[in-house]
Each structure stands twice: as structure tokens, then as C-alpha cells.
Amino acid sequence: MRFVSKVLGLVSPRWRTMDEWLDVYVDIVAQREYSSQTFKNKAICVRHIRRGLGSEPMRSIKPHHLSTLVRSFLPDRAPTAQRVLDELRDVFTEAVANGWADANPALHVRRPAAKVTRQRLTFETWTTMRQHAVAGTVRWVEPMLLLALITGQRRGDLLKMRFDDVWDGVLHIEQQKKAGKKHGARVAIPLALRLEVIDMALSDVVELCRHYAKPGPTMLRKRNGQAFVRPEMLSYRFEETINLVGTWPAGARPSLHECRSLSERLYRKQGIDTQTLLGHKHQSMTDRYNDDRGLSAGEWKHLVLAPEVEEIP
């Protein structure tokens, strides 16, 4: 029966495969307003799904099939397992909506836990990295470290910061991460913002960025003034510098993104509104950045008593 249907070009819905559906699904996803990085991440997940389930008829796929695929990435690639499951849930949601499936089996698969192994960046490590950067030959590494710490922004936002984003004494940032919205969070940071532990204001860092290389539109740029095209270059120089500071267990070395957590923790001690600074909609997300992942576990937490109030006779 299936052979006859294929000969006639009328494949029964019962036998339409995951491969065939994913061809349709990719076109549906292409209509969404995602960032280029999100499209790239989803494409990787779709390739994993094709490899694991491509030949399976859509209506014969059960939760245990999906669970087997997801578990194949454990334990070493838990984040990938999570992303593949998220993609599977979207794949089947669209399949149900378009008549390719009757139910979403991915909803019955337990989300795998991902153990965080990456260590938080300490201020001491950051300071030593800055010292290496000052002594090094790549002059834009120190401005990168300073800009990342004093603004608390993501790698992609650091890359696109421009001098003409500054007006009325404020640095204006539209974050690249849109989280399903038409535009990212818009954060206006006063140049007067000062990070006490380095005794510098944002205005000081902006001025440093003006003079370390030939003039150019972006704050982080090459020696000749040209802007960086790929954010990976920032991560590469960060990793190169942090490797000069010490050795790290597999998967534990802090990344450039950890400057964002360090910035949040330092500013929170100053009483700064870090939720607005980081551009988060919910305080709970900001609190995740405040978690130092055990760095202060051995420290004593001192209780400060309220001062006594003298009675007025």
C-alpha cells in the first residue's frame, strides 16, 4: 500500500517521515523573527533530529524514541540535550498544527539536568588578566576587559558599541538578544557610572577606547581603526589572556560572558540597580548572575546590627 502511494505521488499521512516534515518545518521557522545566531542554533538541532529520527514515520514516533535521542548526548553534552528536546517540542507543536502528527510526544520527555561546570570569574583573576593585557602587544584587550566589566553587557553588544551611541552624557545600548521581541532591551547607562573597585567611571573607559587605536566608529576595534566582524575574536583573546593566569579543569575555565556576572556582583555591592543594567525583564534572571557558584562558600557572613536609636528625653 505504501509502495503504491509513493508511485502515485500520494504518500499517506501515516507514512510521512520526520525528514519530510523537517523540510516543511525549516520553511516555517524561516518566517520567524529570530536573530542569526538563533537560526544557526536551531539548524544544528534540526540536523541532530534528522540523524536520529529522520527515517521514522511521524505518527509512529513515541516519547521513548525522543528520550533515547536526548539521552544520547548525556552526560558530556547536557546543554545540547536540552536544546534538542526544546527543538523537538517545537517541531511537534508545528506538526500537530499542520496535520502531520496527532499529539506532541516531546511533552512527555523529562528535561535533562545540566550540571554547570564553568567557574565564575573572580575580581582577582580579572585584575591579573588586565595586568597581562597592559603588558601584552594586543592593545584592545585591556579596553575589552574594562568595557565588559564596567557595562556588564554581552559579547555581541560589546562588539557593536559605537562612540555615536553616546549622547546627553549617556551610553545607549540596544541589546542584540531579543528573546522573541522585535528589539532587544534598551539600556541607557550614564557615563558617570563608577565601579568603585577599579576606581573608574564609564566615561574614563570610553576615553581610553578613543585613544588606544586609530580613530574608528566602534569602541572596540583593530589597531588600524577597523571594526571587528566576528565576536569570536573577543572570546579568543579573552581565553588567550585567562590561560596566562592559570590552568582550569575541563569545562571550568571562565568565559568572556563571566565578566557579566562579575559586573553584576560588584555593582550589587554598591547598591546599583543591576536588573536594569543587565537588561533583564525579571529579577530572578539577574539573581542567577549573582550566584557565585560556591566562590564565597567558605567565607563568614557577618551580621551587622542596626545602630541603637537614642531616646529623646
Please, which contacts does 6-15 make with residues 24 or more away whose CB atoms are closer than 8 Å? 13/59, 13/99, 13/100, 14/57, 14/59, 15/57
Mean pLDDT of the chain: 89
Query: Residue 102's pLDDT is what?
Result: 92
- pLDDT bin (cut points 50, 70, 90) of residue 4 is very low
Candidate from 5-9, 64-68, 114-118 with smallest mean pLDDT:
5-9
Active site (annotated) includes residue 154: yes
For residue 211, pLDDT over 80 is answered with yes
186 flagged as catalytic: no
For range 8-15, the mean pLDDT: 52
| High-pLDDT (> 90) share of the chain, % | 72
Residue 11, pLDDT score: 47
Quote the pLDDT of residue 310.
57
Mean local confidence (pLDDT), 147-165: 96
Q: How confident is the model at residue 13 (pLDDT cuts 50, 70, 90)?
A: low
**181 vs 297, higher pLDDT:** 297
Q: Is 6 a catalytic residue?
A: no
Give catalytic status of residue 40 as yes or no: no
Pick the CATH number of 2-108 from 2.60.40.10, 3.50.50.60, 1.10.150.130, 3.30.1310.10: 1.10.150.130
Which of the residues 177, 194, 222, 268 is marked catalytic? 177
Write out pLDDT tens, residues 119-149.
Answer: 899 999 999 999 999 999 999 999 999 999 9
The predicted pLDDT at position 58 comes to: 94
Q: Where are the domains of the chain?
A: 2-108, 123-290
Q: What is the mean pLDDT of residues 98-111?
A: 94
| Distance from C-alpha of 243 to C-alpha of 261, rounded to nearest angstrom | 19
The residue from 155, 160, 260, 265 that is catalytic is: 260
pLDDT of residue 10: 44
CATH of 123-290, one of 1.10.443.10, 3.40.50.1970, 3.40.430.10, 3.40.1350.10: 1.10.443.10
Residue 36 scores a pLDDT above 90? no
pLDDT band, residue 77 (cuts 50/70/90)? confident
Decide if 257 is catalytic.
Answer: yes
Identified catalytic residue from 48, 83, 154, 155: 154
Contact partners, residue 270, CB within 8 Å, separation at least 6: 195, 196
Q: What is the reported pTM?
A: 0.72
Q: Which of 25, 155, 160, 289 is catalytic?
A: 289
pLDDT surpasses 70 at 1: no
Residue 9 scores a pLDDT above 70: no
Which has more pLDDT, 99 or 312?
99
Q: Which residues contact 307 (CB under 8 A, 6 or more apart)?
A: none
Q: Write down the pLDDT at residue 84.
A: 95
- Helix 18-30 and helix 78-97: axis angle, to 10°? 90
Q: What is the pLDDT of residues 242-295, one digit of tens each?
A: 999 988 887 789 999 999 999 999 999 999 999 999 999 889 999 989 888 788
* Cα–Cα distance for residue pair 290/271, rounded to 1 Å: 13
- What pLDDT is stored for residue 274 in this prediction? 94
* pLDDT at residue number 2: 42
* β-strand pairing of 194-195 with 200-201: antiparallel
